[in-house]
Structure formats: C-alpha cells, structure tokens
Amino acid sequence: MGQGGRRKSADAASGGGTPVGQDEALARAAELIKSGKAKHIVVLTGAGISTSAGIPDFRSSSTGLYHNLARLNLPYPEAVFSLDFFEDRPERPFWALAKELYPGKHFPTPTHYFFKHLHNNDLLLRVFTQNIDTLESAAGLPPASVVEAHGSFATAHCLACRRAVDSEYVLRAGVRRGQVVRCECGGLVKPDIVFFGESLPEKFFKSLSDLTLCDFLIVIGTSLQVQPFASLVNYVRPTCPRLLINREAVGPFVRAGWKEGTRDGCWLGDCDEGVRRLCDLLGWEKELGRLVKEGRAELEKLWKRKEAEDEADRLEEEADASDAGEGEVRRDADRQSGDMGGDADKDGAGEEGDGQAEAARRAAKAADAVQAVERETDSARPGVVAESEAGGKSATPDGGPDGVVDAADKVKVVEADADADDDVEQLERAVERVIVE
C-alpha cells in the first residue's frame, strides 16, 4: 500500500477525515524537535504499538487478547495473569499465551524503530512501556533507555527455589510448543511479568523522576486505563507539551486539540502511520526506512541461526536420550543375565563349598594317617642310638635285656628309620595333593 493509501486508512480509522488540529499537532511536535526545544523526550506506550507486529492488544472487542482467551473458559479474562490461577493451572492459559507472545517470533514495528532513532539522535530520555514483548530491545534500544513497567519475558525465575532463569532456558524447555516450564528443582518457572496483585519493578519507581525532567511527552498506543501507569501522563511539569498518537482520544487528551495556548495535541489513527507522518515532517523518513529494513534483516539472520542451534540442540538431546535408552536396555539385559548367572553362581558356589568340605575331610584323614604312621614309626624305632665312647658299644633307653646292642643291630635300626621317613614323606605329598585339589 502506498503512502496515500496508508493516510486514507489512518483517516478512516479516526472516523473519516482528519479532525481539526491533528495535522497542526504533528507540525508543532516536529517544530519542537527541530528547534532543539525538545531534548529530553519521554515516551509512554502500550499494546497499540505492537499490533502491527502481529501481537494482539488486550481490550479490542473482536481481536483483543482477552476476547480471544474466552475459548479457554477462564472464570474471568484477567485470570491469565493471576498468580493463583497460574499455580493451579500452569498449562492453561498462561503458557498457551506465552507460546504466541514469547520473544523471537515478532519483528519490531516502525514505531519501535522511531524510538531507536530518537535515541540515536540523543533526544530520548526514557521509554516507559506497558508491553511485555521486549520489542523495544529487539529494535536496538539499550536496557537503560527502557522501563518495562509490567515486566517482560526477558527474564524469569523459579517460584520454588527463586533461581533466576534466562530466556534460553525457557526456550529449551519448550515454550514454543506451549509446554509448562519447570526449574531443575521441579518448581514452576514464571517469566518476570507483573501479574495482578504483584508489585511493579523497582526500576519503574526509580525512574519516575525522569518525568520531571521531560520537555516533550509522547503518548502512543495506550488506552491509559491501567494504574499506576495511566497516571504518569500527569507527572510531567504543567508547561510540558504532550502529544497523543492513538486510535482514539484517551485520558486528558479527550479534550485536546492543541490549539494555540494549550500544551496538548493528538493525532488519531494507526500508530505507525502517525510516526511516519511525524518523520516526514522531520525529514527522517529515509532514515526510519533504513532502520526498519536493516533491523529486520539482522533479526532474521539472528533468529535463523538461533533456530538452527536450537534444532541442533534438540537433535543432540534426542540422541543422548536414545543412547541413554539403549544403555538402560543393556543394563536391564545385564541385570537379567546377572540374575540368571547369579543363580548359576549360587549353585556353583554350593558345589564349590561342598568340594572344599570334602577336601578338608580328606586332608584331615590324611593328617590322621600321617600321625598314625608317625606313632607307629616311633614305636617301631628302638630309640635314639647314642654311640658310647667306650668300646664302640651304644646304649639305648630301651635296649635289650642287657641294655647293649651291637653295631649290626645299629645298622638295622637306622635302615628301619629311613624306611619310616620315606613313608611319612609319601603321606605328606598325598595330603598336599588333596588340599590343592
């Protein structure tokens, strides 16, 4: 659609034709910036700047998030951001919603890149956003320049152990498949989005002083219905000029026309179209187009690489799981084999024990036989022969009747003794064989 077509669409969205004062409002805003009077611009924004990225707002009657969540049979639409409901039914509806909204799927809009261009020209003091989609960061705004009043998907933590969890962990856990994300401890992981009843981030309150330094306030794409964010529009000084770019007049801008002598003005229509018209007046249209084109190309490249890495990780995890499964199968087989082998070992151990007992009995018998032979040998021996120094006679303790034996008898005794020793040695070798066996 060409420039003229976009402008006709914007005019139609505002109710048919440009209301009185709208073009003047943009012209005055452009003059403030070009003249250098607006050096500390603060932006207040909401879901309306992300709808052209494919992210629904919350309250539109037919396309809004709360309307579309009716199919989930919630007790009330806001239950999707109720902490009690999240803990009781984590799988639905929150993670069903997160599947569609999680960062890395939607491209920033021209409005987001307009903020980036303000930052590049040292004109942006801060962006206060109610959005949780992190598209400001995706467009290249540094974290210090953005206050995510309602938190975002950028970080998360475990509700049980309170451990911080980064977006990579959440992605690996299956948020893209709508799976419930759990911590390593088993607790539920909750993105650091402000649920109803929770306190706003500390950074929000610390940054409120920026509004007193603001010299030009731009309110864009918000209904100004959610407090305390909606009250920020009144935090600027009474003389600070304020511009609304929105589909409908909201808050204090309902009465605005930015006539001479008033500080407020509004342009009603599509947010991206309003930004383009303002950039045309500032001479920034080509630069804005370049930022959008280059930013999108860079994100496409980044996301494709990340998608390839995630796919590689997924395949590796599947391979590891397969290996683990095969290993478990092998271990089961080993256990079954071990059980069978264990029974056989028990039988073998019983047989081995019986054999050892039998060997011990045989050894004991052999020992008894040795002792019996030794006793018989001892009884057969005439005694220790001691040669007498006198006459070659030898006396024995139990010698003959006269206590004297001659040399021939001595030889017989020694021969008998040798034969007995041979018998003992043979028995001992037999015992050793029995024990070894």
Distances (CA, A) of 401 to 142, 392, 395: 129, 18, 11
Catalytic center residues: 150
Integer Cα distance of 134 and 64 in angstroms: 19
Structure tokens at 356: 């050892």
CB 99 within 8 A of CB 178: yes
SS percent in the chain: helix, strand, coil, step 5? 55, 15, 30
Give the residue ranges of DSSP H helices in 103-249: 110-120, 135-138, 167-172, 202-206, 210-213
CB 242 within 8 A of CB 233: yes
Chain-centroid distance, C-alpha 357? 62
The C-alpha angle with vertex 410 and arms to 406 and 411, in degrees rounded to 5, equals 125
- DSSP for 126-151? EEEE---S-HHHHTT--GGGEEETTE
Integer Cα distance of 148 and 191 in angstroms: 13
Q: Which residues contact 85 (CB under 8 A, 6 or more apart)?
A: 74, 75, 79, 94
CB 201 within 8 A of CB 148: yes
